[in-house]
Amino acid sequence: MNAINIQNQPDRYVISIDKNSVSSEFMIDLLERLQLEQLAQKIDFDDSILEIGQEINATWWQQNKQRFIGE
């Protein structure tokens, strides 16, 4: 048997993963990521969200760059 097996059913995907191939911590992290991705797909943002994200990143960088480049 493969470490990861995917079954394609009419209304769902069934994924089985060999317990010996990944840790339980990895599985918890993976499931949390999948839940976040699923929730993010439900959100209907327009393109202005990208501008807001860039502004947040630029502001954060201005406030924190000295921690990384020692200015």
3 with 17: CB under 8 angstroms? yes
Determine the average pLDDT of the residues in 15-44. Answer: 92
Asked if residue 45 belongs to a domain, the reply is yes
Number of domains present in the structure of the chain: 1
pLDDT at res. 59: 96
- Residue 45 CA to residue 62 CA, distance in Å, equals 26
Asked if residue 20 belongs to a domain, the reply is yes
Asked if residue 49 belongs to a domain, the reply is yes
Asked if residue 71 belongs to a domain, the reply is no
Domain boundaries, position 56: 4-64
Q: Average model confidence (pLDDT) for the chain?
A: 91
- Residue 24 CA to residue 6 CA, distance in Å, equals 19
- Which ranges of the chain does DSSP label H, i.e. alpha helix? 24-42, 48-69
Asked if residue 15 belongs to a domain, the reply is yes
pLDDT tens figures, 43-70:
888 888 889 999 999 999 999 999 888 7
User: In the chain, what percentage of residues exceed pLDDT 70?
Assistant: 97
pLDDT band at 71; cut points 50, 70, 90: low
